[in-house]
A and B are shown apart, each in its own frame.
Chain A
Amino acid sequence: MVFGALRVVCYVNQFFGQLGGEDKARVGPQVVDGAVGAARAVQQALGDAGSVVATVICGDNYAAEHAERATAEMVELVAAARPDLLVAGPAFLAGRYGVACGALCAAVQAELKIPAVTGMHAENPGVELYRRRVYVVQTGAEATRMLAEAQRLVALGLKLARGKAVGAPAADGYFARGVTRNVVADAPAAERAVAMLLDKLAGRAFASEVPRPAFPPVAAPRLVKTLEGATIALVTDGGLVPRGNPDGIEALNATRYGAYSIEGKSSLDAAQYDNPHRGYDTTWVKEDPHRLVPVDVARELEQSGAIGKLHETVYSTVGVATTLAQSARMGREIAEKLREAGVDAVILTST
């Protein structure tokens, strides 16, 4: 924590460091004393609060093509200047630059324990890659308002360097990091909800307190084989487990899934299965597990040649109050295993 004037190091690319344009994009990291190029806007924004003691400059192509090496080299240059704060960018909509800013901030925070801040436009790929680890201030797409943008980076950077409380993303102008923090609200939830509803009915602007998660579109894969030649797997989020729940799959908010063999089985014996799912009444699927995982008819379709092969492993988890992050991880892991096993398509049964 620093109370007096801060030592600040800036990181800029070859363009904002005034080395040149794309012709200088291959230039490796170098350091210049004081504020150079865009770092001068940071110095102006700092005023008496601190001084830019050094500017680290690196070409965008060098940073992108030798990412690990470039970051390591720049961390050394930053360390040598002994700053209290790193200000990287802002990178606006420049993709290579934005990713390099995020990587350097993350490394400086982790390795040097020095706070760091950067700035980017919402569509810069560096935002999604680094916003959870690094404070990324939202900027415009272009450098037309450089001083105003630098002032917002510096305002947040000063809070970080001085150990002051950082406000909510909307208040301090940075991309949400996925952190939940308890705060004391001015009014009870019922009053806030009614006020929000009145705003909505009157056509006034209102901000939800519960942002909906975004679901980026997934391209629909095409089945390249005929069904008669394809291996089909059964997967469920309805909670089928062998009796005793050997993998300890949680009754809700699951973080685990199981892989259960159906080799040699033409049907599932209800006495051998159980179901810990607490999101629906499992009476009927416990009575007959085929109501959840149709091994009986899938096996018949395999025997009759309607499908090439039924995959001998069923994957199962509990899908209730499961976080998006856990669901995505489990889905990715199951998909990788199915692909390794040569499965062509999946029927996922859900409750």
Chain B
Amino acid sequence: MTPVAVMVGANRIVSAAGIIHPLGSADLSPEDEKALRRRIVEQALQALRTEVAKPTVFTRH
């Protein structure tokens, strides 16, 4: 859904894990799922301290 976020003008966009569970995944073990969630939140924090001039998608490593 990141193209929609870009279209409506959200400035800092982090691509997450999916529409039905943006911050998790039922396919992973509880530990791995939480680690995934932590990486996404840390990426969001990184985006917050990055200056942007237009809608920018931060892709997950």
- Can you spell out 5 A-B residue pairs with CB atoms less than 8 angstroms apart? A216-B9, A238-B22, A291-B25, A297-B41, A347-B41
The stretch among A16-24, A35-43, A115-123, A220-228 that forms the contact with chain B is A220-228
Which residues of chain B from 28 to 61 have a CB within 8 Å of any chain A CB? 33-34, 37-38, 40-42, 44-45, 48-49, 51-54
Choose among A216, A221, A226, A291 the residue that contacts B24 (Cβ–Cβ < 8 A).
A291
Which residue on chain B has the smallest CB distance to residue A284? B21
Query: Are B51 and A220 in contact (CB-based, < 8 A)?
Result: yes
* A351 CB-CB contact with B under 8 Å: yes
List 17 additional A-B contacts (Cβ < 8 Å) besides A217-B9, A281-B20.
A216-B9, A218-B9, A220-B51, A223-B48, A223-B49, A226-B49, A227-B48, A290-B34, A291-B21, A291-B24, A291-B37, A292-B23, A297-B34, A300-B38, A347-B41, A347-B44, A347-B48
Query: Are B26 and A294 in contact (CB-based, < 8 A)?
Result: no
CB distance from B58 to the nearest CB of A (A): 12
Query: Are B9 and A215 in contact (CB-based, < 8 A)?
Result: yes
Residues in chain B near residue A345, CB distance under 8 A: 48
Residues in chain B near residue A326, CB distance under 8 A: none
Which residues of chain A from 334 to 351 have a CB within 8 Å of any chain B CB? 345, 347, 349-351
Query: Are A215 and B8 in contact (CB-based, < 8 A)?
Result: yes
Query: Are A297 and B45 in contact (CB-based, < 8 A)?
Result: no
* A288 CB-CB contact with B under 8 Å: yes
Residues in chain A near residue B7, CB distance under 8 A: 215
* A3 CB-CB contact with B under 8 Å: no
Alpha-carbon distance between A223 and B46 when the two chains are bound, in angstroms:
11
Specify which of B7, B16, B41, B42 lies most central, judged by the most chain A CB atoms within 10 Å of its CB: B41
Alpha-carbon distance between A216 and B9 when the two chains are bound, in angstroms:
8
Query: Are A290 and B45 in contact (CB-based, < 8 A)?
Result: no
Query: Are A297 and B38 in contact (CB-based, < 8 A)?
Result: yes
Alpha-carbon distance between A221 and B11 when the two chains are bound, in angstroms:
9
Choose among B11, B23, B42, B53 the residue that contacts A290 (Cβ–Cβ < 8 A).
B23
- Mark A281-297 against chain B: 1 for CB-CB distance below 8 A, else 0: 11111011011111011
Which residues of chain A from 280 to 323 have a CB within 8 Å of any chain B CB? 280-285, 287-288, 290-294, 296-298, 300-301, 306-307
Alpha-carbon distance between A227 and B24 when the two chains are bound, in angstroms:
24
Query: Are B48 and A284 in contact (CB-based, < 8 A)?
Result: no
- Mark A270-288 against chain B: 1 for CB-CB distance below 8 A, else 0: 0000000000111111011
Residues in chain B near residue A288, CB distance under 8 A: 24
